[in-house]
Structure 1
């Protein structure tokens, strides 16, 4: 029997990951427009981020424990449909009902966040299940597509809003809806490889509480936090700590980080080998970048450190997935779902912790006096201190990846 061609399937998965870069990066770029056009408070805007996270985490957990109850092929083909519907609702509802604009944004966010949760759990195992001479490189290529998508979304969206104004944001959102539409067309005729999933919830609990899996879980937790702290805070850090204009903070902070993220994943996809050593080296490099960015007073060095963090964190998330799936090959979709939950927790907890530290320090009167002795404003000092404290995430990543390498080498399965 001839092996089916999965070329269209790979293209569909890559296009879905491009769509996920829109879901992740477009809303934050529009927050200022929503504040000015609809008088939506920063608390409400922050709540949109929380809704996004909670929706994705709920999907992760549902598929972790009950994945065997769903038709995975139909669920996979539903992902781009939900993404397109969410983006359209996000654009249309606030425009048609401006007095209840926030409600429209919430509805759109729930739809495309659900698609994001499904994509996190199901797209990677599709690539892992497709026969390949080097599955590690295929996984890296998939995640590189996401990183390059972030670069495109940030640059194109920033230039579009600069050219046509903030009021044009619905047209920009409509434009990005084309990506999930293309993905839906590709998936409609793409073969889906067979994917394993535990047939009983008790099997998932055994996986969840195994020592080896918990080690993998904390690897992706610390790796996800290390990546997302810098990707979400680099722009504000460069703007506030080094007084760069916002447009340059966005382009140099976010886009350059994403460029390096894409370079790291693309390089591994083409040349990569010895994953465990790569992860240990990457986590160590990320730690040095965090320390350099936090401790330097030179803007160019800080910019370089922020950007290079993208290079060094590039493989921490996909590498953790590969490590876990290789350690638990029979767990299939469940291991990807639980790992996605761990990555999401790190991606949410890390940036939130940095923000909490900055707020706490700014409320302490003694910080202003101490900052002046270093010739810094209270905000500059607080941002630097927060980033320095958050270097605990790449530090723990070094420890977890080193332990995983030693343990999995000594006790192969």
Structure 2
């Protein structure tokens, strides 16, 4: 335990206030999502998701206390041990885990379930911060890029093998931290380009896309300075164009022959929301109806009809934002969005203030993970993102997600408290 590290005096109280606001609002909305007018269950009823969520909140307070009393150096020194343990748990869950909603990624303990994939994001964040903090490590070097890719890729592949696609995609959030720490811009640019080509190939006929790539290649050649307009430069642009054509041509095969049926349906609904409103498009259609029906001020707490009559799926988990939109309207939804924008902004500000590279890198990992969850979860409820089933931090029901997000945040606040205590002593 760190003796001269008075956390209570050095904690970033604004971040703590944002955390408390999110958790309490999440708890009340979980209650609203599962509330039955006939049963009139209490918010403290342990047989409901709201009662269980209160228990998870209480145990999260215990976790917070544990995080704060441990010396800050513990998280650096034991980062690789945490990472190795989580790899072991991801392997174990594939053998001894339970299958829930088609995903073999849960440990069933009585009436409660625990998902190691949620904690793998925390362990990977610590491992990345530890590795990149080593003197001499530079993300412009190919060797270090491969090591980082291995640290991120190993848990991501294991999670994907347990059929948890949504949690796998979250690992793409680490690109934000990597770019901040010196990863060449070509990597995020390539990722954005691939994503754009993938979406365009789903929306437009391939012939039009091929013509567009050809036009872009010709324009790129003419924009080259005259002293660079040689055979080598033109051949390079041509190879990039051919690669783009190959990627576009492979999208159809990937979607129809590689992805599973439910994954294909989610992509089809994203491209054309009206393709099957009573079938594969039901979830997104009802989610948008629920949010839209709230209008400006909402229908009122516990007055949501789309929620109460089970039109919206996974109301207390993946689609919790529908309850917010229906019962609290645009105003309530805007408040939630502003809370997350405030939290993300604060995390980035604090990360940039860190005197330790380990703390800065870890802070950016936390911000990237929160941003990905926030963007995708809200995006999928309004039809802007595919439905991949990831929770809204601190709002969605679930012990694994609440614990993992709480640990992610408060480990960073513990590291930040060390910075402020050093400044105060100086």
> TM-score normalized by structure 2?
0.30
Greater percentage in helix? 1
Structure number with greater CO (CA < 8 Å, separation at least 6) is 2
> TM-score normalized by structure 1?
0.31
User: Greater Rg, structure 1 or structure 2?
Assistant: 2
